[in-house]
Amino acid sequence: MTDSGEVNLDGVQMIMLDLGLVEDQIFKERQRREVSFKQREKAKKFHQRRVNFDQIHNSQFAPTPLGRGITPSAVNNPRQEAAKFRQLGMQSSGEDNNQSALKAMMRPSNDDKRGTKRKADDMTAEDDKQQQKDEEEEEPDNDEVRLYEDGFKDRYYESKFDVTSENLEFRYTVALQYVRGLCWVLKYYYQGCVSWDWYFPYHYAPFASDFIHITGLSTKFDKITKPVIF
């Protein structure tokens, strides 16, 4: 690929052509991973807010009605009991268990469970408010290019360069200049600065599939330039 700072453009052309054949699949797979990651993070936050009410009502922390001669029992080893809840919470299947627990709590209760339905309603309302808040805080999708959808190249060049989809020569020109930029960087590290006034004339990069006919590109730079002194 390279030899003492010189680029073998034939090898670059071969690699970029092969990469260009699968770049759309790469973008789609990246989008799939990003969506999956966001869903996992959202589910994690949601489950962290939920409480397994079935386990609580079967423990020492179960709510006990006061009055009528009922004396609440003392809690033994509260730290150990709390650690048990954390472990059960990590092993819980999540939302299904919590929903079934809420439904069980909201059934008509006897005197010993008075007030349970009200607490369940409060918990559910609080979860709904938090979920709505999370959805409002999510960043809006302002991606007009949408690399993961067909036609992304046309949208990209229209959005970033204000160039129509019919102007294929412009894409190839961007790619040629990008290759010269890669050659400039490579020469810089092997031979020093080969040109003080060369720069990549665009703000955005091309796609791998745009690297066409780069084998005849000149990688020579004007060596008479001098650094800019302010």
What pLDDT is stored for residue 93 in this prediction? 46
CA–CA dist 51, 32 (Å, integer): 30
Please write the tens of the pLDDT for every residue from 74-115.
777 878 877 776 676 655 544 455 555 555 555 554 544 444
DSSP state string for 7-57: E-HHHHHHHHHHHHHHHHHHHHHHHHHHHHHHHHHHHHHHHHH---HHHHH
H helix or E strand, kind and range, residue 3: strand 2-3
Higher pLDDT residue, 163 or 228? 163
Which is nearest to 182 in space by CA: 147, 219, 210, 134? 219
Task: Tell me what percent of the residues of the chain surpass a pLDDT of 90.
Answer: 36
For the record, the structure tokens of 195 come out as 């040109």
End-to-end CA distance of the chain: 38
What pLDDT is stored for residue 54 in this prediction? 65
Phi, psi of 190 (to 5 degrees): -95, -35
Burial level of 23, CB count in 10 A (0-12/13-18/19+)? middle
Phi, psi of 6 (to 5 degrees): -100, 135
What pLDDT is stored for residue 215 in this prediction? 86
Higher pLDDT residue, 96 or 164? 164
What pLDDT is stored for residue 171 in this prediction? 94
Q: How confident is the model at residue 3 (pLDDT cuts 50, 70, 90)?
A: confident
Q: What pTM, to 2 d.p., does this model score?
A: 0.60
Please write the tens of the pLDDT for every residue from 31-85.
999 999 999 888 887 766 665 566 666 777 777 776 666 777 777 787 887 777 6
Q: Per-residue pLDDT averaged across 104-130, rounded?
A: 54
What pLDDT is stored for residue 91 in this prediction? 57
H helix or E strand, kind and range, residue 6: strand 6-7
Instruction: Name residues whose C-beta falls within 8 Å of residue 151's C-beta, 6 or more positions apart in sequence.
Output: none
Question: Average per-residue pLDDT in the chain?
Answer: 78
Please write the tens of the pLDDT for every residue from 6-38.
888 888 889 998 999 999 999 999 999 999 999
Pairing of the two strands 6-7 and 2-3: antiparallel
Residue 169: pLDDT above 60?
Answer: yes
What pLDDT is stored for residue 218 in this prediction? 84
| Domains in the chain: boundaries | 2-30+146-210, 50-137
**Structural contact between residues 6 and 185, judged by C-beta atoms closer than 8 angstroms:** no
Residue 154: pLDDT above 70?
Answer: yes
**Structural contact between residues 205 and 178, judged by C-beta atoms closer than 8 angstroms:** yes
